[in-house]
Amino acid sequence: MKTSVAYEEKVEAIIGPECKAETEYTLVSANLMDKLIQTIYRVAYQCHLLANYFIRPNTRGAYVALWLDGQILYIRNSYKSVYTLPCGGIGRAETPVEAARRELLEEVGLDIPIKQFRIAWQQVNHSEFKQDHIILFEVHLKNPPKLKPDGREVVWLGFRNLEDALTMPLFPPVREYLLQQRQSVDREG
């Protein structure tokens, strides 16, 4: 698929040309159906935020930091203006690691065995008008994966090192995790 030049320029303005990596995946252009679904996602997300504003729910979320050669995979959802990690809510009938595995498959098309997931970080986050109990898992890869953003929910993905990622607009708990990672590296270094 061809990508929108204007969209590529917008992303490059945010992440900078010096951040281009061999492990960056082609931006997915949107056909009419994709654009319609992206619009539905944006409207649904705004409704979700509005409901959260009044209800202030307690939720549980699973995040996945997918590491490859000192870089982490970031995604950008069609309905958010910030970068994040593959993540989502934990269903009532699933464990946190099952949710993390499901989200990785749904968002980037990567099926990783549960035994490769390691709990790395936990936090209660208050973004988006909710109390979200986040469990972040790390998965360390040895080879570049074949990833497939759907072009509807996930419209961009790429690997970045810690310092480059910290210059990007990031979802708050992702930034906090990265800052903790940087502190760990500084202490070890």
Distance separating alpha carbons of residues 105 and 117, to the nearest angstrom? 13
Contacts of 52 (CB under 8 A, 6+ apart): 128, 129, 130
pLDDT at 170 over 90: yes
In total, how many domains does the chain have? 1
104 lies in which domain range? 5-188
Looking at residue 31, what is its pLDDT? 87
Distance separating alpha carbons of residues 4 and 8, to the nearest angstrom? 6
Tokens of 164: 């480059």
Distance separating alpha carbons of residues 102 and 62, to the nearest angstrom? 10
The pLDDT of 151-158, averaged and rounded, is 91
The pLDDT of 25-54, averaged and rounded, is 89
The pLDDT of 37-64, averaged and rounded, is 97
* % the chain with pLDDT above 90: 75
Distance separating alpha carbons of residues 3 and 7, to the nearest angstrom? 8
Q: Give alpha helix (H) positions in the chain.
A: 5-15, 32-55, 96-108, 162-165, 172-188
CATH classification at residue 15: 3.90.79.10
